[in-house]
Structure 1
Amino acid sequence: MFCNRCQEFWGEALSRAEIPQIINSCVDVRWNHHEIVLHQSIRDLKTASDLRCRLCRIIYYTPTEYEHDKLLKDVDEPLDVVLSLNTANGPHPVLMAEFQAKSENGTQPIIPKRWVASCSGLFSDDDLATTLKRSVETENNSTGSDAALELAAFWTKTCINGHEKCRAPTSHGTTSFVPTRLLDVSNGAIRLIESKSEIRDGTDRSFIALSHCWGLIPIIRTLTSNYDDHRKGISPERLSKTFMEAVHTTRKLGYRYIWIDSLCIKQDDGADWAAEAATMCDVYQYAALTIAAAHAPGGDVGCYAERDALLHLPFFIELPESPASSKATRIYFTSYGRVKDVGGGDPALYGRAWVLQEQILSPRMLIFDGSQIKWECLTMHGSESSPTSGTTRHSLYHKHIRSGIMDDFEFFDTPADKTSEDRGFWARLKHQYWCYIVMDYTHRGMTKSRDRLVALAGIGKALSRHTKNRYLAGLWSEHFTTGLLWSLAHNEKFTMSAADNFDVDKNEKIRHEEDLAPSWSWASVTAPVMYASNELLNYDRICNVVNVSVSGDIDKQTGRAEICGHIRRGYVNAVYPYAIREAAAEYPHMATIKPAGNLGREEMKFKGRMFHPNDWFLFSEKSPSTGKSDASDQHLTTHGNFRLVRGTFKPDQIIKPSQEITFIAIAQQHFGAQLETRLASHQDDDALKVHSLVLLPTSRVPGEYKRVGLAIWDECAWYGYLCGWKDARDRIVERPGRWTEEGKWSKEGWLDKVGRKLWWDDLEFYEETKKGDHQHEYEANCLPDMAKYHKKVVVEEKTVVIV
């Protein structure tokens, strides 16, 4: 396992350490700094590496390929390979390697110290230690090797036999669920079977599911025309590399059946596809294991990857035996050996929208992730380098949704000993996790936009079994008003995993060619959506939801939301998010640039003023016509009688500036900013921020509308006031000349400041309100008091139907 020099290093390090007789954790061992010259040439280091010394193998591959080619090219040149045990970071020491060149004046580093491995704790699992020992000693140059799959089998067996939390749910059915069809891969054959008629009662019904990318190269599919042939048998040569390796893994893990979507669903039979899609949540929840071909963008790549297992697997150090201990104490170190995929992005699989529900619903996943296999279940996660711990790709919201699906209690509830205020907060927090799921999902790539609703339906269906809330085309009944407040972003970016996999530039239409969800659902648009996640916990409802209904199939639904609220009407000269690609052609001067974190570059110009669409929108209560002969919509976008309202207007589609639109107030919150820090605050005397849906009549039935956007009215603008600083330094209306070509603001001169005070019209709709003229207290979860509105604001209470 270790060469002679490494054994000497550990012997000396252990002799210098303070080791108590009873060790409960690695913290009990007090290491001291230790350093030696391990080898005196690259050739000596490589020789030890080739003889399978664990440490020397890792150290040899620590330099980059460039450093090996340029700095360490002469393998016989005298140099010192220095190995040190660094204890500066507390009880978890770190192994570091340094390459030093020799000269007449001594040595100097040519490659500075780098981490090689770190102490990860005590290791007490003898079965796992035996498995890892075999992984090191046997042929293991592929993630599909027998040694690698033996570790996978260990994880699977440990979870199924010992993890209570990971067992299939029983509160909503029977644990004997099996999909309609499976692939039987026993006896060296591969055959499509009808489960109900071909799996006898009392026999093992366990099956594995596959999560994979279809890719650009066509893969084998079950069709009406070849269904009978597949029932007789499928030749291995016809399978993609990913499918064949998934079958091999299934057999090695001791299972007979595997479910693969393209083969177990008739892909050209719409009725069969819809029926099977409706059971998708059960397929992944009840699979004994889901195999994830994470790194493979298509079936031609496969599950497995060639690699050097010695660079990934942990190694162990046995401490000297103590009379107080019945067996040897092992401490394990996790390798930091440099491999080609270090620093790479997310695997291709995690960028696909369909895969999110496979990640969330599967209680166990065996992940083929490039040079390592990894494990994730509800109880633990691990990898070959850190078999019982390490990082996970599941974000916090993933974990909470997964737990909600597996646990047998009301998802939106909280322990009964909490106060009513706490219980309300807890329910909002759980809904915030759902909103994160929606953002994550819509930012992933999807080949067919018509799958927008169905590809998340599995999670919705599974979660609905654990709540009294109704799942309504992607929204939840008890949090319906908050769920309505999604939008297409001007410049906000979702920064979680897989955030950039949706190709906006190729998404030519923002609406589906054929409606597949109600307009109030985020599924009604084809691009990524955003929720104001940092505000979700502070919304108060200011409308009454009279009734909401949804009907249709799992992949296509219609809906009707009847809402009573305060209505305002007017005209808007919309600034369009980059995601609405049609706007770039029709109104290019009113379309923002592609979101890239360049805040400020999205500034818009109108009548010699410059503003940011997150701070202002162009509004008129009356027709914006200029009275000129050119009354076209193009003319109105540059010369219309619009003024600036403090807030933001986020359209879902192109809206003509000459078309009157209806606003209905949905929610509001106290929202201010501390003068010193500009951090958001939510005090009772802070100004009111109102969130409203933007509606257009359907022209089918009076009072029936379609959602076409979201409008947010800041600093009491909804009520006809401006209860904020008119000259707030970060929200001021600027003259375009202040924005330089270098991307910086030029300073205002004294003439600019005088002009702003005396004669320059900044086009703001409302004048700054004197303190005390507008009261900000309100009662939550009911319609606002009409007395809060400025006398010039035209508002009415009305019930509308949104479809």
Structure 2
Amino acid sequence: MTMSEQAGQKRQRSDSNGDTKKPKQSRSESHNGSQGQSCQVCTLMLSHQGLQHLNSPNGFLHQNRTDCAASVDQGCGMCKLILFAVCKEHDEDWRHEDRLLFRNSQDVLSVSTTPKKDAAGICNLRGAFESNPGASILTIQLFAKQGDPMARIVRRRPLRRDVKSNKVFAAAKALVKQCMDPENPHKHCRYSRDTVLPLRVLDVVGRPEDPCPTVRLKISETDTHAPYLALSYRWGDQPASGPEPLQLRKDNVETLVKGIQLESLQQSIQDAIVVTRKLGYRYLWVDALCIMQNCRNDQASEIGRMASIYKNAAITIVAATSLHADHGFLSDKPRPYCPGYKVYVTMDDHTTGTVYLSAEPYEPDHPLDKRGWTLQEFMLSSRMLIFSDYELLWQCKEVDLRSVSAKGLEYLQPLETLPWTVFDGDEEPYYGNLDSDKLYLWKTIVQQYTDRELSHTSDKLNAIKGITSELETLWRDTNVYGLWKKWFIGLLAWYKPVMERDERRHLERAPSWSWASLDGVILYEGSLSTEDARLKSLTVQAVELSCRILRESDVSDEKALKVLEQPDLMDPLAELQQKGLNIEEVEYLLLGTVKLDENSEEGIGLLVIDTGGGVYQRLGLVKFQDMAIWENVQRRDIILDARMDEKKANEEAMIPEKTHVNKKREKRKRKPKS
């Protein structure tokens, strides 16, 4: 069906290739709750005798696939978890006669296949196939409650939030030292003791003559070399009434330089100061107090430096759990964490113990991860201490997301990271050099970024300016309104999922061809295998293409059935009518083709309309299952629309009621085809 046919009837919309927003992977939710008694093999593995085998170099031989499935049928909850977890990732690899081999691991991040012989209890079960014992395929994290008979075998207890104890900070300092070791530092983690301070930072030590430990704003008139920390946090909604939070403004600079009382600061900033002092650092960068919040010129200047600020920070403090800056991030949680999947085990003394199991990494649900600005703060930071749900986490460019404690949870990190050369220009990464790698990275960034929230949608491009500026230098390319010049044609093939379609375009932010002109999540089609359209020129003011364009009304009824239109807006016809454009003038612009398999492909193009003078505006994406419609269509030069000034864009967004789609309008008549 076509847009013209929508005028006569409401059509059902669906994106092909399953192109709806994918939900997060479940953590075996369907297996929560009591899962019955363990079988004899699992009972033996979770005994003192089994512990000796788990701690030995040869490990504990479990069951093969056939026997494991039989145990599941007999009601063994642990075999059920094992079978589900292994088949989920290694279904084709697990031969029916191949037994599983388990070893005890005290550290979820340990790559060693040799367990400690004297380990007093089970912490994690590392699983491998007997045929390839050195390749771990599964990690099961075990928990037992204090006082339960199973606590004699299982070491880990339900996690109570601990992100501020001396023990935790000692572990964090050890990881920081390891990363920055002058003798043997992490190769890909940028750090220089000659780091230049940002223009403004908070001096958290205060002056010696201060009667109490105050904080003051430090302004560097010339380059000052010293390490500093940066804070990544969520501001939260500003109060509708009452006092505003303390921020740097034109009229209070001198006051903040003289000194700031801690109690006058929002709790997350107070907590960040505590962390900075405990880690042994003097300077802290916080946007609210280091950027003038009522000066556009200062904001523009400092936003332009955001990439270097986070990239050069010794550590970024990440207040991941706080919804609002007033809430802080060091407080305790009332309820401990324990997996919901439990299995009953008969102990050696015939008592019954309960073991709680998780075979999947824990994926934190951080409020901070929903904020648009923090994506670049995450991607640009060399090192992060993340104050998470239950634990203090560490991540750097060489160590994946982990607890600072060796006996913490195993974590899942779904976010992409930037190539190492962003942090060390002298190194060539083994990943990221290919165009396909770069395209994948950028499309992933766009999808993750557009799925986040912005308090001010006018920040759409500013909030990732740090990322684009770094990649422009690294890739030696130009990013225009969120699209790279080198891959411009392919990057035009973005689309809005059906349930995420927008009500209006924000042409004051970006032209219609840019994903930045819309709110909400953006997805991409597969990479173009061939490009039909050609970029002739690209500037902020105009885009000129050489391409093939076909009027929608010139496509026969039969061939129209093989055309799938995916409008950007919920009501695309109203958009046309508001502009005074005729639906008969909708056209297709061919971008190129995508390979479906070895023997088939489909065309990808834009749904466009001529707004006058050969200047085209995007209306959506379109797919062509039959490329024959493009035979004999001649190539021509066209111009894509430019960004509008704010006044004109707002006028266009004001759609009068009379212009809304008339659902009773008759389906347009097609010209008879010869």
Q: TM-score range by the shorter chain?
A: 0.5 to 0.7
Q: Compute the displacement of 1:691 (Å).
A: 1.3
3-state SS of paired residue (1:165): coil
Structure 2 runs not aligned, ≥5 long: 1-43, 63-120, 134-138, 207-212, 240-244, 339-353, 643-674
Q: Identify the residue that residue 709 of structure 1 maps to in structure 2.
A: 620
CA distance in 2, matches of 1:147, 1:345: 22
CA distance in 1, matches of 2:498, 2:427: 36
Q: Aligned pair 1:405/2:440, yes or no?
A: no
Structure 1 residue matching 2:316: 3-state secondary structure: strand
Aligned counterpart for 1:211 among listed residues 232, 245, 251: 232
Check 1:647–1:410 CA distance in 2 against 1; reply closer, same or farther (3 A cut): farther
Counterpart amino acid of 1:486? Answer: W
1:262-411 aligned within 5 A: 262-306=288-332, 346-380=365-399, 381-386=401-406, 390-395=410-415, 398-399=416-417, 401-408=418-425
Q: How far has the Cα of 1:226 moved from its partner?
A: 2.0
Aligned twin of 1:143: 163
| Structure 1 residue matching 2:539: 3-state secondary structure | strand
Which position in structure 2 is the counterpart of 1:567? 549
SS of the counterpart of 1:273?
helix
CA contact (8 A) 1:646 1:717 kept: no
2:459 and 2:126 mapped to 1: Cα distance? Answer: 53
Q: 1:621 aligns with which of 547, 554, 570?
A: 554
The letter for the 2-side match of 1:689 is E
Given the alignment of the two structures, is residue 433 of structure 1 paired with residue 441 of structure 2, yes or no?
A: yes
Secondary structure class of the residue paired with 1:367: strand
Q: 2:219 aligns with which of 169, 194, 200?
A: 194
Instruction: Tell me the distance in 1 between the aligned counterparts of 2:294 and 2:492.
Output: 35
* Residue 279 of structure 2: aligned partner: 253
Q: Which residue of 2 aligns with 1:798?
A: 636
SS at match of 1:694: strand
Residue 209 of structure 1, CA deviation: 0.4
Q: 494, 504, 519: which is aligned to 1:510?
A: 504
1:695 pairs with one of 608, 615, 618: 608
What SS does the corresponding residue of 1:465 show, helix, strand or coil?
helix
CA–CA separation in structure 2 for the residues paired with 1:244 and 1:517: 38
2:529 is aligned to 539
Percentage of matched positions with identical amino acids: 26
Per-residue CA deviation, residues 635-674 of structure 1 (Å, 9 max, x unaligned), is xxxxxx9994323212234343833123221111343xxx
Q: Secondary structure at the match of 2:561?
A: strand
Indicate which of 250, 264, 277 corresponds to 1:224: 250
Helix, strand or coil at the partner of 2:251:
coil
Q: Aligned partners of 1:85 and 1:216: how far apart in 2?
A: 42
Match of 1:28 among 47, 51, 57: 57
1:479-526 C-alpha deviation (Å, 9 max, x unpaired): 1111111111115xxxxxxxxxxxx69x7x5322x6122322211212
CA drift of 1:434 comes to 1.0
Q: CA separation of 1:145/1:88 partners in 2, compared to 1, >3 Å: closer, same or farther?
A: closer
Change (3 A) 1:253 1:308: farther
Q: Deviations over 1:28-54 (max 9, x none)?
A: 253599xxxxxxxxxxxxxxxxxxxxx
Aligned to 1:128: none
Give, in whole Å, the separation in 2 of the partners of 1:196 and 1:644.
Answer: 66
Preserved CA contact (<8 Å) 2:236 2:325: yes
Superposition TM-score, scaled by structure 1 size: 0.54
1:154 to 167, 174, 191: 174
1:62-211 superposed matches below 5 A: 89=127, 117=154, 142-161=162-181, 162-168=184-190, 176-187=195-206, 188-197=213-222, 200=224, 204-211=225-232
**Contact kept? 2:144, 2:356, Cα under 8 Å:** no
* Distance verdict in 2 for CA 1:394–1:165, change over 3 Å: farther
Instruction: Give the partner amino acid of 1:539.
Output: S
**SS of the residue 1:209 aligns to:** strand
Q: Distance in 2 between matches of 1:406 and 1:387?
A: 30
Pair 1:542–1:344, CA change in 2 (3 A): closer
SS in 2 for 1:478: coil
Contact kept? 1:184, 1:190, Cα under 8 Å: yes
Relative distance call for 1:564 and 1:169 in structure 2 (3 A) is farther
- Alignment partner of 1:451 is 2:465: no
| Length-normalised TM-score, structure 2 | 0.64
Higher relative contact order (CA 8 A, sep 6+): 2
Within-5 A mapping of 1:581-660 = 620-621=553-554, 644-653=560-569, 654-655=572-573, 656=576, 658-659=582-583, 660=585
Letter of the 1:168 counterpart: R
Specify whether residues 271 and 88 from structure 1 end up closer, same or farther in structure 2 by C-alpha distance, changes over 3 A only. closer
Q: Kindly tell me: are residues 233 and 338 of structure 1, through their superposed partners in 2, closer, same or farther at Cα, counting changes over 3 Å?
A: farther
Q: Which amino acid aligns with 2:542?
A: R
Q: Is the 8 A contact 2:214 2:259 kept in 1?
A: yes
Q: In structure 2, how many angstroms separate the alpha carbons of the residues matched to 1:704 and 1:669?
A: 26
- Cα contact 2:512–2:618 (8 A) shared by 1: yes
Q: How many residues align?
A: 489
Which residue pairs with 1:732 in the alignment? none
Q: Using the TM superposition, give the Cα deviation of residue 238 of structure 1 relative to its aligned residue in structure 2, in angstroms.
A: 1.0
User: What's the counterpart of residue 17 of structure 1?
Assistant: 52
Deviations 1:676-719 (A, max 9, x none): xxxxx232xx2x411112223343xx222222222222232643
- Per the alignment, residue 633 of structure 1 pairs with none
Question: Equivalent residue for 2:589?
Answer: 664
Kept in 2, the 8 Å contact 1:548–1:561? The answer is yes
Distance 1:542 1:378, change over 3 A: same
Q: Bigger radius of gyration, 1 or 2?
A: 1
Contact 2:228 2:314 in 1 (8 A): yes
- For residues 427 and 435 of structure 2, what CA distance do their matches in structure 1 show? 10
SS of the residue corresponding to residue 498 of structure 2 reads: coil
Q: Is the 8 A contact 2:364 2:389 kept in 1?
A: no
Instruction: Encode CA deviations 1:124-183: one digit per residue, 9 max, x unaligned.
Output: xxxxxxxxxxxx9xxx9742223222222222111111433343289xxx9633321111
Task: Tell me by how many angstroms 1:376 deviates.
Answer: 0.5
